[in-house]
Structure 1
Amino acid sequence: MNMRCDVFRFPLSDPGDVSELEQALLAGDLAAHDIVAVIGKTHGNGLVNDHTRGYLTLSLALLIARHTGETPEAVRQRVPFVFSGGVEGVLSAHYTVFAAREAETSSGGPALAIGVAFTPDYDPGEIGRQIQIDTTAIAVQRAMASAGIASAKDVHFVQVKGPAFGTEDILAAKHPLVSDNAGRLMALGRSASAFGIGKALGEISTDAAVEAAVLKDFWLFTSVGSCSAGTEVRCNEVIVVGMSEHWSGPLTIAHGTMADALDIKGIHAVLNQLDMTADPQLDAEQTQRLRAGFIKCEASRSGKIRGRVHTMLTDGDIDQQRHIRGAVGAIAASVLGDTALFVSGGAEHQGPDGGGMLALIVERASH
């Protein structure tokens, strides 16, 4: 069977605004049954108390359920909703919908492919532990298999959304906690998830993908993994995107890394893989081809960027993730000419330390 993946980006005027998707469903631009994953940026702060992510998740589950006849719970069991809070600076709130359907004809070559999987639910005491690493690795491999992606080299983007826990859940944990600090527990969860991705794809060896290395051995990272956490989920939701001979359509994807927050060469390198040229910015025609952009970033732990001091880690008023999202978001948007980008902080083990991974989905140029 030959499949086709379509990608749609919709603006988000508020965290419950699903009107643009509803219009697309009513117009027949896509079918609700074909929606397999949604990834987006909401207006919140991206921290433990950011409930905008759950609000959008609920709104979308209710909308899709109305159009499919499923219950909202059934929708959430098959569709990963991965939302990251924080659209600081020039970034625009939005969400990207992935739809998969049987293709009418074969394109005769590899095309964008997508697969999803879910881990079992986690107890707060399992976050940052070996069980989270290993179950995430298994889920990544299951998602690859469901997408018909035969080789790790054909995987270009893996998005994981894992749980964050508030004080009540932390106090009720059934297993010993790695940390009882809610914010640090989020970081541990992102890190363990990244190790799971790296282990599944052979980027991090089995011997190295151990909980003792989480948030410690920062030379270990995945170049395709993007990991977030939120109180709206209890398991790890896994989305694998790559290229497969079993899929057709006009879309393609490439990935790379940014060595640090200023590394626009890393962005240009990914564009070059896609036969796009930013000189110094993509022109309007090329920007029109951009279907989605995913970028991870973090403030460098050394406290310096290219030898000069930054204050992101010591600001008592604004969390460092908000600083770095605003900075990297502006840099990436200036190159791509697009502000509806998924720029997410908390890039522990997701790209080089102090930098991050990036993946771009574009429509192939017509010749």
Structure 2
Amino acid sequence: MKVEVFPLAQSGPDDLSGLINLIETGRLDPKTIVAILGKTEGNGCVNDFTRGFAVATLQAYLRPLIGDAATEQIVFVMSGGTEGVLSPHMTVFTRQSEGLTGPTQPGLALGVCHTRDFAVEEIGTLTMVQVVAEGVKGAIAAAGLACEDVHFVQIKCPLITASRQGRGAITQDSYKSMAYSRGASALGVALALGEIQPAELRAEDICANYDLYSTVASTSAGVELRNCEILVLGNAAESHSDCCIGHSVMAHALDAGAIHRAIASAQGAGGGDRIVNIFAKAEADPTGRVLGHRHTMLDDSDISHTRMARAVVGAVIAATVQNPMVYVSGGSEHQGPPGGGPIAVICKRG
């Protein structure tokens, strides 16, 4: 497998100029695209339509090039919210499996999966956990990885809107449904990777028992889909990729040390000095304190705490690596310890 990663700056959610240039100059074959992660400049909440706008724009461009079926197989993960210094961009992942020659080396491998659509009453429940866990296992198998080789699992998951509420829904609050969906999806990752055991997990633990979490899960909820789209990233012993991935876990929003540990992890796996992109989760610490000091992110009725957390963590990462074009997603329920979150780094040789 040969995996390539292309971070592309965007002037807006519908700006495909960077992608079009790569394709028209022959540097990227659109038939090899398997996943596109984006940071769009909406509010990252329920009514952030920049996510769906970005996906629709990409699909409309790619369908004439690669066909409907191939376009539907691509994992599109758009994370809304570029607060603070975060710079809007997309990261395109390609995978080539045939016609490869030359020696192999340790390098990046990936697998993807699309789950079935979820009924409204399944979102945020144990059923969702189990379906996601099976999807993650399938993506790991498609990547040819073992669980210990996995460094990052990105999932786009659905939410509950007012028009889609049902009797058995876990909540009637659309915004809260984002947290339940993210949390259940993250627990599915933890279950698939053996980070938690089935006997440890009860329905009432979802978005309640934060001692249960994954160290590599990153989940993002949106109104633009009804299933889960899963991207698994890890390192294979025999790869044709020039990239490697590593990860760490931020213990809190200001944990710059975790950034350095994630970089060292990627470089230690065989990656070079060039950072391709950084992917992190952000959350306002539910205790209301950061490093022993009170914060007010959870008490502000004007601005969502997920937006504030993205701005803080985005600034910490950008300042550390001197690049604001990084992927930071808000809301880290069961994704790392409370107040923290997983962080992954892709580095490239040469």
Q: TM-score higher than 0.5 here?
A: yes
TM-score, normalization by structure 2: 0.96
TM-score, normalization by structure 1: 0.91
In structure 2, the partner of 1:225 is: 217
**Contact 2:62/2:71, CA 8 A, preserved across alignment:** no
C-alpha displacement of 1:49: 0.2
C-alpha displacement of 1:66: 2.0
In structure 1, the partner of 2:294 is: 309
Unaligned runs of 5+ in 2: none
In structure 1, the partner of 2:15 is: 17
Q: Deviations over 1:129-180 (max 9, x none)?
A: 111000000000100111111x11100010000112321111xx3x601111
In structure 1, the partner of 2:108 is: 112
In structure 1, the partner of 2:189 is: 197
Q: Does 1:260 align with 2:219?
A: no
Counterparts of 2:236 and 2:317 in 1: how far apart (Å)?
Answer: 28
In structure 2, the partner of 1:216 is: 208
RMSD: 1.4
Q: Deviations over 1:90-112 (max 9, x none)?
A: 11000000000136225333210
C-alpha displacement of 1:307: 1.2
Q: Which amino acid aligns with 1:323?
A: M
Q: Does 1:167 align with 2:165?
A: no
User: Given the superposition, is the C-alpha separation of residues 223 and 107 from structure 1 closer, same or farther in structure 2, using an over 3 Å criterion?
Assistant: farther
Counterparts of 1:187 and 1:64 in 2: how far apart (Å)?
Answer: 31
Structure 1 residues 46-61: aligned runs within 5 Å: 46-61=44-59
**Contact 1:199/1:209, CA 8 A, preserved across alignment:** no
Q: Which amino acid aligns with 2:210?
A: F
Secondary structure of the corresponding residue to residue 110 of structure 1: strand
Secondary structure of the corresponding residue to residue 25 of structure 1: helix
2:6 maps to which of 2, 5, 8? 8
Q: Which amino acid aligns with 2:128?
A: Q
C-alpha displacement of 1:5: 0.1
Secondary structure of the corresponding residue to residue 84 of structure 2: coil
Secondary structure of the corresponding residue to residue 274 of structure 1: helix
Counterparts of 1:209 and 1:340 in 2: how far apart (Å)?
Answer: 37
1:235 maps to which of 205, 215, 227? 227
Counterparts of 1:336 and 1:209 in 2: how far apart (Å)?
Answer: 38
The percent of aligned pairs where both chains have the same amino acid is 38
Q: Which amino acid aligns with 1:235?
A: N
In structure 1, the partner of 2:72 is: 77
Counterparts of 1:34 and 1:143 in 2: how far apart (Å)?
Answer: 17
Aligned residues: 346
Unaligned runs of 5+ in 1: 277-284
C-alpha displacement of 1:46: 0.4
